[in-house]
Structure 1
Amino acid sequence: MMMRKNSGLTLVEILIAMALGITLIAGVVQIFVSNKRVFSSQQALSGIQETGRFAVELMSSDIRMAGYFGCMSRVSQLTNTLNNANGFNFDFTNAVAGADVDNDGGGAVPAGYPAALTGTDVLVLRLSTGDASAVVAVNDADSIFIDTYAVSTCAVGTGVNGLCTGDLVVVSDCSKARVFQASSFVTAGSTTSVFHASAGTPGNAIPAWGAGIDPAEVFDVGAQLMKVSTVAYYVAAGASGRPALFQAIDGVAFELFEGVENFQVSYGVDTNNDSVPDNYQNANAIAAANWQNVRSVRIALLVSSIEDNVVDEVQPFTFNGVLTTPADRRLRLVFNNTIGIRSRTP
């Protein structure tokens, strides 16, 4: 009878197999980690580019329209009848304004706004923000008469055509414009009377005008009425605690984009009255009377990734002429654009 020989793996063979397996697993893990790092970096880059493009496009659109008040968009023919006409939210004489928070100690943004971060800028724009309503008859001393095409849903009071009681509006034709607060609306048939009484906040300092005596106060068929707003852009601490770009409309602030760490603005000033910017100045260098001579705006945004540790090493960056070495491993990009103000350039 033949004896069967036992078969199996020796200890050496097992150790060799384990070593090969560990090497293979380590290679797979390394590939996975590498792919994950590449994916995280690409995802971070995509997020930064999306944030930067959207932010620049949004601000550029408002900058181009700054000072637009219908057919008439030149400051010299604008009358502001509001109380506190020089106030932050009511100074429609200046289509563009701004502040350097690093020079103003953080006090550039009025109460009610989240505090802009020190070292950043504030951009202020005044422009029409609603659809135009056609004036259908010459105004009287109390109201403007407009065509009615829709009833507004208003939180307070009533309104038409997207307008509500308390809104700031401008009536304009091709030779002049007038800003006032709509105190009430009365509709009869297809015509709505838009009143401008003194009551309200800020209220109208000149509640009665347009009785047909002064041609500068007369607005007839062919004129338009539209809502106007003060829109501010600045960087402040967002809901997550990290810096974010904010937009404030008539004092009500909204967080737009997380990860915008810095915002710098310079203004193209026309020094020889040819409607072309001759040099770019920071807000603190512009005298109050020269804001009317701003013809363009140059913006720069520093945008970082939401997530940390998306790059292998700390990445120094240059922004506003300063080289900075961050304490994190976020990815950062700088976005720049120069935008002309259509109502202020040929």
Structure 2
Amino acid sequence: MIRPFRPQGGVTLIELLVVLAIGAIIAAAMASLFAQSSTTREQVNRTSQRIENGRFALDAIAEDIRLAGYYGDLWPVGNLGYNTDITGNANPCASTLADIQAQWAWSVGPPSSATVPVPVIGLEGHGATITLPTGCSAILPNLKTGTDLIALRRASTLAVAPSSLSGTGAVALQVSTQTNLCPAEPSGLMVHSNPANLTLHRADPSCGQTALARPLVTHIYYVATCNNCSGGGDGIPTLKLAEMVNGAFAVRSIAPGIDHLHLEYGVDTDGDGAVDEYRVPTNHNTKLDDVAGREWFDVVSVKAYVLARDLESTTGFTDSQNHTLGTKTVAAYGDSIKRSVSTTTVRLVNMAGRRES
């Protein structure tokens, strides 16, 4: 039996071209959406990293500021003074035993008559240069000109037996706590790196227990021109920390992408522990403000500003706006890197608290 002819089903050339055109439009739209989503995600990641780096940099500085001026059993009040000449006795870059001992002055009797280094010192970056105290250039490599730096000093929060310092080179503070209960010590405090010289005692029924010692801590925060500075450097400005470790300074990176650091200092003018005004150093040495005569030991608070940047450039973007960091304005960089400002205000607990009491 012969079946009748039936035409086969299919599409015409025109129908095929229409389908292909619609498919191409949908594919292009999906590709554009994917590209836009990828770009947006990348920008969000960059922004998050930039903000995180800025906040981390501030948190690191703030934690140290809160501890500045801590000296364990030593209570710097009354007639205890502070060495504030940062080009001499209070140079924050001192690392040798002799230089550190020169910053402290004490005599026979209670430690309340001692003189100690001021716990916070800041250097303002003016223009393209900054005048550094003796020895600072060597321990602050790749310092970015025009940015500020801050030096913070204290004793370690961990007290140790003097014998544990043997061979480390660490300079430690030892304070006598038995001068009122037992025969007077040769002095109320001792600053030394040799355990044989750390022989003061603490209060106990027999007056025979050696007082614990606290290694002295100096931290200097500054902005370097590079994160990895080997060879010609990677060109990524970075907040770095120069830390005195066992009698020598070592430098490590804290947060990459920090373009600028600016600091303002809250001054207590009437001795009640509260901030009366904020100031910045007007020169690179001696006092916080020579005109007003405000010394560094009057500082009870610090405002810190950081200008953080992306680690990579953004196509089609130009940094054309000035950046305001408190009382300081940083001119637009004119490049294709995005930047943002973060700030925090930190109280110097030890300095302000002592004034309140």
Give unpaired runs (5+ residues) of structure 2. 95-99, 104-115, 180-186, 205-210, 229-233
Match of 2:183 in 1: none
Match of 1:102 in 2: 126
Indicate the percent of aligned positions where both proteins have the same amino acid.
23
RMSD: 3.2
TM-score (norm 1): 0.72
Contact 2:280 2:289 in 1 (8 A): no
Residues 38, 79 of structure 1: alpha-carbon distance in 2 compared, 3 angstrom cutoff: closer
- Cα deviation digits, residues 286-327 of structure 1 (max 9, x gap): 1587112211111001112223228x6445463225375443
Matched residue SS, 1:105: coil
Matched residue SS, 2:270: coil
Residues 163, 15 of structure 1: alpha-carbon distance in 2 compared, 3 angstrom cutoff: farther
**For the residues of structure 2 that align with 1:255 and 1:74, how far apart are their CA atoms?**
32
Matched residue SS, 1:301: strand
After TM superposition, give the deviation of residue 14 of structure 1 in Å. 3.3
Residues 308, 129 of structure 1: alpha-carbon distance in 2 compared, 3 angstrom cutoff: farther
Give every structure 1 segment of 4 or more consecutive aligned residues whose post-TM-superposition deviation is greater than 6 Å: 1-4, 174-177
- Cα deviation digits, residues 174-220 of structure 1 (max 9, x gap): 7996452312x4xxxxxxxx436xxxxxxxxxxxxx8xxxxxxx653
Match of 1:294 in 2: 299
Contact 1:132 1:224 in 2 (8 A): yes
Contact 1:78 1:178 in 2 (8 A): no
Match of 1:338 in 2: 345
Residues 271, 259 of structure 1: alpha-carbon distance in 2 compared, 3 angstrom cutoff: same
- Cα deviation digits, residues 235-268 of structure 1 (max 9, x gap): 1122132100001102211111111111001111
After TM superposition, give the deviation of residue 332 of structure 1 in Å. 2.6
Match of 2:202 in 1: 220
Residues 270, 326 of structure 1: alpha-carbon distance in 2 compared, 3 angstrom cutoff: same
**For the residues of structure 2 that align with 1:317 and 1:177, how far apart are their CA atoms?**
53
Residues 292, 314 of structure 1: alpha-carbon distance in 2 compared, 3 angstrom cutoff: same
**For the residues of structure 2 that align with 1:270 and 1:10, how far apart are their CA atoms?**
89
1:172 aligned to which of 172, 175, 178? 175
TM-score (norm 2): 0.70
**For the residues of structure 2 that align with 1:305 and 1:104, how far apart are their CA atoms?**
23
Match of 2:192 in 1: 181
Matched residue SS, 2:130: coil
**For the residues of structure 2 that align with 1:12 and 1:63, how far apart are their CA atoms?**
76
Alignment of 1:149-298 (within 5 A): 160=164, 164-172=167-175, 178=189, 180-183=191-194, 185=195, 194-195=196-197, 219-221=201-203, 224-237=212-225, 238-239=227-228, 240-250=234-244, 251-284=249-282, 286-287=288-289, 290-298=295-303
Contact 1:103 1:284 in 2 (8 A): no
Match of 2:146 in 1: 119
Higher share in strand? 1
Which amino acid in 1 is paired with 2:307? L
Match of 2:113 in 1: none
- Cα deviation digits, residues 143-201 of structure 1 (max 9, x gap): xxx4x8xxxxxxxxxx51x7753211112357996452312x4xxxxxxxx436xxxxx
**For the residues of structure 1 that align with 2:31 and 2:309, how far apart are their CA atoms?**
29
Q: Tell me how many residue pairs correspond in the alignment.
A: 289
Residues 104, 33 of structure 1: alpha-carbon distance in 2 compared, 3 angstrom cutoff: closer
Matched residue SS, 2:269: coil
- Cα deviation digits, residues 75-121 of structure 1 (max 9, x gap): 753799xxx85433344511000111225813434323213212210
Matched residue SS, 1:102: coil
**For the residues of structure 2 that align with 1:255 and 1:248, how far apart are their CA atoms?**
9
Residues 267, 42 of structure 1: alpha-carbon distance in 2 compared, 3 angstrom cutoff: same
Q: Which shifted more, 173-182 or 283-292?
A: 173-182
